[in-house]
Structures are given as C-alpha cells and as structure tokens.
Amino acid sequence: MNRSVRRTQRELRRSLIELMKEKSILRITAKEVYEKADIGRTTFYAHYKDQFDILSEIEQETIEKFDEILKKHDVDKKADSKEIIKIATEILNEIADNLGILNILLSENGNIIFQKKFYSYFIAHYQKKLQKKSDYQENTFIHECYSVFLVNGYIGLIQHWLKNDKKIPVPELAKMLVHLAMAKLWK
C-alpha cells in the first residue's frame, strides 16, 4: 500500500471516529465521513463500501492488538503478581494510547455488535484461564460466570478511569485490577 492510500484511509478513519464522538454510527452517513475528511466520493468508494466498512476495519485492528498482547504474555500458574501487573500495565498503556478509539468503540455511539464481540473475546479468554488454573473440577458455567463478572468489572472500571481523565497512573490502576482478580484467577 503506498503512502497516498494509507493517508487517505487514515483520514477517513479519523473522520469517522470524530463523527462518532458526536453521534451514533447508525446516524452517520458515508457522505458525512468523506466530506469531513475532505475526500471525494469516488476516492471514498475506491477504499471502502460504506462507513460500516471503515468501522469494521478499526474494530478488527483493535481486537488484534489485544490478542497480540495476550498471546505474548501467556501467564501460567507460577506467574507472580508483579508479572501479571506488568502485563496489565501494558494493556492499560495500549488503551491509554488509543484512548479516543476504544472509548468511542465502547460508547453508546459505537457498534453494539462489536461491543458484544469485545466482551465475549475477553470472557472467553478469562474462562480458558480459569479452567487451566483450577485445581478442582468445576462446572464450566461457573467459570463463565466468574469471567463475565471479571470482564464487566474490568471494562467498567477502565471506562470510568478514561472518562475521568485517567486520574490515577496506569501502574496503580494495573495493580488495582490485578488485585481484584487475583483471588480467583491465580490462586
């Protein structure tokens, strides 16, 4: 992909995110996106089918970033809290670096299908961790319940942190999140 194509796509993506700060993706038109980006209609359709196509690309890249981080740090039962806090810090730094995008994707203006997929992704990840870590046989529904609780709590706390201008430093929030989960995940 040449520089001009990357620049065009970056501008269209930026414009969509800016529009999503103001209103729901369901109320945004392709025309609004390409006009805000100051890009012609023909150029827009040479790159994307519609505004949902841009959003889908952004959502997929977001999931891939988190997948990369989680795969890079496959925590085992022997991991200590310092190692887990380091991983949580890296994830929170990724969130902070992409504050605008993730905050918009998880807001009421985002795509509810992505939000469900995002939550499900993390719930499945934690459920696998719980099943690996258990020293006893437990019903998988119980693992799922713990996972749902942890993921919703994590994401809710992170959203609260973002909306309040990240009032506590990333390492402190990472410690808080890890300590909240330690009792079940890394017992």
Second CATH level (architecture) for the domain 1-48? Orthogonal Bundle (1.10)
The amino acid sitting at 78 is K
Each residue of 144-185: pLDDT tens digit? 888 888 888 888 888 888 778 888 999 999 998 888 876 555
Residue 78: the pLDDT is 57
On the question of pLDDT at 77 being above 70, the answer is no
On the question of pLDDT at 136 being above 60, the answer is no
Each residue of 87-133: pLDDT tens digit? 788 888 877 776 668 888 888 888 989 988 888 888 887 777 766 66
Q: What is the pTM of this model?
A: 0.77
Enumerate the domain spans of the chain: 1-48, 56-185
Given pLDDT bands bounded at 50, 70 and 90, which one contains residue 186?
very low
Q: Is 8 in contact with 48 (CB distance < 8 Å)? A: no
Which of residues 3 and 87 earns the better pLDDT score? 3
> Rounded to whole angstroms, how far apart are CA atoms 68 and 161?
23
* Closest by CA position to 9, among listed 47, 62, 38: 47
